[in-house]
Structure 1
Amino acid sequence: MGVSGSGKSTVAAMVAERLGWDFAEGDEMHPPANVDKMQAGTPLTDEDRWPWLDVVAGWIRTHLDDGRPGVVTCSALKRSYRDVLRAPGVVFVHVAGDGALIADRMSARSGHFMPTSLLASQLATLELPQADEAHVTIAADRTPEEESAEVLERLGLSPNA
């Protein structure tokens, strides 16, 4: 979880690959109307997000029901959003970083629908995970390899050989 540009997708994909787990990019689950809105520089509303969060939660539930481990990315900016995704065995990994660093990362990437102009609204919406939520927070200030290694270490997971 984390704001757009924090590196959550890169880190999540590396964690999933190292563990041999399924991976899903939550941004790919957005309906076209949400993507169009974000591309136009308009922040999503809660009403825009609920159906998308239900799709992400469905992916999580399917994996839990099938006993298949997985990693899925989702901004999960508010506690109420995380409540939709939360289930026994789900741990949120918050990739947190300085706004200026994240803006630089967003400016450098290509092919993503989220413009840098929406970063301020994401940072304003972000509700940090609380002690009663299963989570770890990692700093988005190192290489993705270092960040993904920290995730594995903090969650006590061993990569596949």
Structure 2
Amino acid sequence: MKHLHLRALALLLSSSCLGAIAAPGEGHMPPPGPPIGAHGPHQHGPGFAHGVDLSDAQEDKVFAIMHAQEPKRREYTRALQGAHESLRALGGAEQFDDAKAASLAQAAGTALTALTLLEARTDAQLRAVLTPEQRKQSLDNRPRREQRRAGRHAD
């Protein structure tokens, strides 16, 4: 999933509290990206299905799955972003409140965990839509997708 490694890193940093607190512009983790298949460059469907031809019925199922999980994704993303913003503000405050920072870091970690679990469940549901041949084709395309992704993140 997009930015999964960044989200895992953010979880570790958030849970340690100190890593999540930074001056504006320093150590800033980008917020989770748009959901797969929702907006922008991912509007063509789930990443694992690139290069896999889906039937109209499969596309409808993928749409329904993505549409159903979107409210929770937005809720968790907003909670995560809110906790990060509050942590940044607290880090720049004249008086640092360690207990408040720990609470905010815990909230960020909880939201990130929920978001990551939602993505894993959604991935499983989406893969279940594929035929065995399509799953094999998706796995065969994985190295190419990862190579493209690595090239985009190298910039």
TM-score, structure 2 as length reference = 0.33
The higher-RCO structure (CA 8 Å, 6+ apart) is: 1
Higher normalized strand content (fraction of residues): 1
- TM-score, with length taken from structure 1: 0.32
